[in-house]
Structures are given as C-alpha cells and as structure tokens.
Amino acid sequence: MDHHVSELLRSLPGKVFRPESQQYTESVDSYFSAQESQIKPACVVRPGTTADVVSALSLLFKANQLQGIGSVKFAVRSGGHACFAGSANVADGVTIDLRDMNLIEVIQDSTQLCVGAGALWGQVYRALDPLGLAVPGGRHSQVGVGGLTLGGNILHIISFSIAIRGLSHFSGHVGLVCDNVLEYEVVLASGSIVRATPTDPECSDLFYALRGGSNNFGIVTRFTFRTFPQGHLWGGTLIHPIETQTQQLQAFYDFCGHSYDPSASLIHSFGMSSERGSGFVNSIVYTKPEHEPAVVKPFTEIQPMYQNTLRELSLTALTLEQDAFNENGLCQIMIATTYYLHLPLLHRTYNLWQDACDSVRHCTGIVWSMTLQPITPTIIAHSPFLQEAIPDLTSNSNKTVVVAQLTGTWKYSEDTAAVEATALKLIDSIDSEARAVGMDTGYIYLNYAHAGQNVFGEGQRKERLRGISRKYDPEGIFQRAVPGGFKLF
C-alpha cells in the first residue's frame, strides 16, 4: 500500500494525507459515528476538482488491474453521516474525502442549482435562503449532499428495489429528492467522465441506476437540481412526556390521513435517554410562513408539554435546530423497516420499542429512539419516480407507508454487540407484527438501513442494476474494491 500512497502523493501534491498529518486526523475524526472514526485508512485523499478525482481513481483502477481486482481497497465519503463501520471509510486503504468539492452555483436564471458532491445541506441552504430559493434535501445541516442523494433512501421488495431519493420537508409538493435531480456528473472506474441525464440515450440507464443504486457505478462529483421559490417556513420542535403516547399516536395517524396537508412534514419520535428520561419529540414543518396552521394543533393541544419552539424561521435555522438531536463521535446504530399505516400497529410498534428499552438501559449514555415518517399518497402523486418504480405503491394509492427508523447512540464500544442484537430483534418483531395483520410492504429504506439488511432484494430491478454495473464498471471495481455501501453482487 505504501507504493500506491506514494503514487497518489506524486499525482496529487498537497491533497493526499498520511496518518501523521493534521488533515488526516481531522478527516477521520469528523465522521458521525465512532464506528467509522475508529477505522484508519492508509491515507486520505482530498480532491478539489473532478480532475483530481479522475487522477485518484485512475491510479486506483490501474493498481487493482495489476494486483487483482479488490486488492487495493478504497472508500468514498461526502458528509460521513452513515453509521455502520466501513460505510464510507476503509481500513488500510484509501479514503477519498469529497468535502472540498463543495461548489454551490445557481444557474439557468435561478431555475437550477449545481452542487458539488462534498457539500453539506446546511451549506446549500445558507446559499439559497437569501435568494428566496430551495431544493428538497436533508433535514440536518451536517448531512452530505452526496450521501443522501446517492445512498438516499432505497426501498426494496422481493421483485425489485427502489430509491426513494430523500424525503424532505417539501415532498408533498415536489416529490422526492431524486425527482428534482436533472444531471449527475460521474467519474467511472476507468477515469471517464459522464454527465448522466434522463434524456441522453447514451447514459439514461446510468441516470436510472444512480437513483437508488448506492455507490455501485462510479464517483458522483456534481449534481444539478431543479430549484423552486421558497421563503420562510413555520416549524420547530414539540417535546412531551412519554405518558402522552395514546394521544401522540392518534395525532400521528390523523396527520397521515386523507386530509393530509402537502405543505406539512412531520418527524414523529419517541425515545429514551439514560441521562434525560423518556419522551415524545415531534419535529413539525409547514412550508408556508403561516402561524399556527391547523395541521399542528392536534400536537400543540396535547398536554402537558415540555417544550414548544414552533415559529417562523428560515430553512437554515430549522436545520441547525435539528442538529441538536445529532451528536457526532458516539457509537451509533440505525436500522429501519416500513409498513402501511395502521393505528393498532403504531401502538404495537411503541410497545415493542418500550420492551426493548429494558435490554439496553444498562448501556452507558444510551439514547434509544424510534422515529416514524409517512410516505403519503400525496407524496407518491407528486413523485414521477415512485409512480414508475413502485407500481405496488401506486396501485395502493389510498395507503400511507410508514417508515419506522430505530436509532441508538451509546458511549462505549463494548456495548455494541448487545445494542445491535436488540435492534435487529426489535425490527424483526415489528416486521412479524406487520405481516400478521397484512400491513407489511416488503420495503427497506436504504439511508436508514443496517449493514446486514438486504436492501436490493431479488428480481428484475436488481438484475437491471447489475447489467448497468457491468456496462459502466466491467471489471467490478466498485463491487470488489469499494467494500462500503450496499453491493449488487
């Protein structure tokens, strides 16, 4: 590996960093989870341009050809927000840290936005807020544009897999993040640069695959998004005691019902903290600056209430508030499932979560939370991608899908095995309950998936993605030399 690091140093002076450097330490220490920060690559590459990515990838491609595909491992990171070990870092290999590729440029009379794959969503919103513009994206400022938009939210069913390219505050009006991507700039394993669009007959298949194919095809260096006008919003956080669970779950169920307001978004969570106790946290956003919209009243009327931060604010301020619920550097787990909206199943989810709390309560610094988010018929109706890719959801157009996401953070790695076992058992129990009442969807949300979950399933879509992988990466570099992410083979 030393020889390959030396080659990179010669090819990219000032952009390749060994373990003794401050830049290396900053990169490795900046991951969201402790599991990722504990991994030590042989070097970190910090490209600043697409040409730098071409240089790095070409050298790694050649090294793998000479020594055998998969012998020289590398990883690619944007914001570094994925939890599980090895998702965007690699032991004794080369980690390509894209965060210096953070271009944010409004083009085409303010109707489009070019964003570097290393930019963070907070940077995007800070650039767009003064212009009265927005794009659908992450709801935390520290999340990377590349990770969300590419890893972003795959669901799978037995017969095919889907990318739900990012639920956002704006999904009720503009669909998903992937519905608003117009172009991907991609560096292939060979070093070729491709600009994939849905209308280019040469690479429309690559555009299709990047929407949910994870990191299986190349390194995306830039995205072009469709923008829309957006001013201030009305939003914030409500915190209630855990004893309000009956009212809370009813309010969530009603929020997702037939009278769903497309201007409203909701992240509905119940959690337990060893230091702060238990409670419900509702992050509510109304995309118009309308004070006290009717859709929030079922939640604000629940008493007693610990905290209410609802107010008029910018998208930037809103994402900064959400950051308070995400602390970097702790041991982390994230795992998810989905089911169709069903009030008794919501209560069963809560009860199963509550039972699981006893198995992890002894872990130092544990925070153990379940978050529910809806994919409503209105969101599906505004998402051409969903309508095309998931006919099951379209045919069940009167049903809301609930994404149930378990997250856990804790202090010491010796508790990791117990926490992960409890998490897997909990999600398996929820799946069993959903199947028992005929409310299972068979889908998994990739951005919240655990490393052990089969996000691609089997069937026609997976085979199509494999075919596209063979076309653009015939040597299988991104299957065998990039161990992170979710693989097709």
pLDDT greater than 60 at residue 156: no
Q: Are strands 43-45 and 94-97 parallel, antiparallel or unpaired?
A: parallel
- Please write the tens of the pLDDT for every residue from 324-368: 777 788 999 999 999 999 999 999 999 999 999 999 999 999 999
Query: How confident is the model at residue 429, as a pLDDT?
Result: 98
Percent of the chain with pLDDT over 70: 94
What does the angle CA 372 – CA 376 – CA 379 come to, to the nearest 5 degrees? 120
**Separation CA 48–CA 27 (nearest Å):** 15
For 280-291, what is each residue's pLDDT tens digit? 999 999 999 999
Average confidence score pLDDT of the chain: 91
Q: How far apart are the first and last CA of the chain?
A: 26
Rounded CA separation 95/463 (Å): 29
Whether the per-residue pLDDT at 273 is higher than 80: the answer is yes
Q: What is the pLDDT of residue 398?
A: 83
In this structure, are residues 187 and 71 in contact, taking their beta carbons and an 8 Å threshold?
Answer: no
Q: CA-to-CA distance for 284 and 267, rounded, in angstroms? A: 7
* pLDDT at position 163: 32
Given the structure tokens 């007959």, which residue do they identify? 201
Q: What is the pLDDT of residue 257?
A: 83
Which residues of 57-153 form beta strands (DSSP E)?
Answer: 74-77, 94-97, 104-107, 112-116, 133-134
CA atoms of 113 and 174, how far apart (whole Å):
15
Check pLDDT > 70 for residue 192.
yes
Structure-token pair, residue 185 = 């700039």
Give residue 22's pLDDT. Answer: 97
Per-residue pLDDT tens over the stretch 31-80: 999 999 999 999 999 999 999 999 999 999 999 999 999 999 999 999 99
pLDDT of 394 above 70: no
| Mean predicted confidence (pLDDT) in 265-290 | 95
